Amino acid sequence: MKAIQAYRYALDLTPAQERAALAHAGAARVAHNWALARVAAVMNQRAAERTYGVADADLTPAIGWSLPALRKAWNAPKDEAAPWWRECSKEAFNTGLDALARALKNWSDSRTGKRAGRPVGFPRFKSRRRSVPSVRFTTGPIRVEPDRKHVVLPRLGRLKLHGFGELRRQLAYKTQWNGGRLIVADRWYPSSKTCSGCGAVKTKLALSERTYTCTTCGMVLDRDLNAARNLAALATGVDTAGSGPVTGRGADRKTRPGGQVATKRQPGTAIADQTGTVPPQGRTTDHVLARAH
C-alpha cells in the first residue's frame, strides 16, 4: 500500500507576500463564481427550453462538470472575465474550478443516491467577506528549503515559515489583552528531568525514554505528564508568590554530569500583564506557560 505523507505549515508573510497570496485566493474565488454562474445559467436555459417543447437535440449545449470541461469553458472568456489573470498562477484559477467540479459531483451523486449521508445542496457562490481565502498548488516549483525555515511556491516565491518566536509573541499580547500573565521558564529549566514527586533531577534522560522513573522516590509517570506537572507547579509558585521570590526546583544551566541530584533554586517573578522569565538569568527560553485570571 502506498502512503502519502502531508505536512502543515504556518507562513510568516511580508505585507507584499500577503497581498499576493490573497490575490491568488481571490482569483480562485472569481473562477469558481464565474463557472458556477455559467453552469447555472445553462441549466436554467435548458430547463426553460424544455417547457417550450424544444427537443433535446436542439437544447442549448450543456457544460460539462468535470475539471477539464470547466477549465476549457473558463479559458475561452478569461481575458474578458478576468483581464488581470496573468498576474496570478494558473493554479489559483484551477483551485476554484476544481472546488466547483467536486461540489457539482457531490450534489449530483446525492440526488441520484450514489452518495450516502445527508443530502448535499447545489453549490453556492463564494463570498469575499464570508468565505475563507484559500488556494492550492499542485504543479510548478514547490519545495521546502534545506534550512527547513522557508517554502517555495509558484509565483509567490520564497516564503518564511512561522517559528516558536511567533507563538511566544502571540501568547504575550493575547494574555495581556485578557488580563492574564505569561510566565516563561528558563531555557535550561529541566522540566523533563525533574521528578514532580520529590524534586530529584536526573543528569541524563534520553529522548527515547517516554516514561519517567525516579530512582529516588520510585515514582513512575509518563514523561510528558511529569514535565507538565513541573511547569504547572512553577507557574503556580510564581502566581501565588506575588512580587516576591518563590521556591522552585530546576537548574540555571545544563545539568552537570555525575548522577541524579536534587536541587532547589529561587525562580524569578513575573509582573502582571508582562512577560516573566524564570529564573532571573537572561537566557533563551523555550518553555512558555500562560495563565488567565
Cell 506575588 belongs to 242
Strand order in the sheet with 181-186: 275-278, 181-186, 285-291
pLDDT exceeds 60 at position 289: no
Asked if residue 16 has pLDDT above 70, the reply is: yes
Rg (CA), the chain: 29
> Residue 131 above 70 pLDDT?
yes
Q: Per this entry, what is the length of the chain?
A: 293
* Amino acid identity at 112: T
Assess whether pLDDT exceeds 50 at residue 129: yes
- d(C-alpha 157, C-alpha 173), whole Å: 30
Average pLDDT over residues 75-93: 94
As a whole number, the mean pLDDT across the chain is 81
Does the global pTM surpass 0.85?
no
pLDDT in tens, 34-57: 999 999 999 999 999 999 999 999
Residue 199 exposure: Cα atoms within 13 Å on the Cβ side: 11
Residues 210-223 as b/e (b if ≥16 CB within 10 A, e otherwise) read eebebeeeeeebeb
Greater confidence, 153 or 263?
153
pLDDT score for 241: 44
pLDDT of residue 164: 61
Question: Which of 123, 121, 81, 76 is CA-nearest to residue 98?
Answer: 123
Q: What pLDDT does residue 173 have?
A: 75
Q: How far is CA 159 from CA 10, 11, 222, in A?
A: 10, 7, 38
pLDDT at position 37, please? 97
The answer to whether the peptide bond before residue 123 is cis (omega within 30 degrees of 0) is no
Phi, psi (rounded to 5 degrees) for 150: -140, 150
DSSP string, 139-176: SSS-EE-TTSSEEEETTTEEEEEP-HHHHHHHHHHHHH
CA dihedral for 276, 278, 279, 285, sign (positive or negative):
negative
Q: What is the pLDDT of residue 5?
A: 67
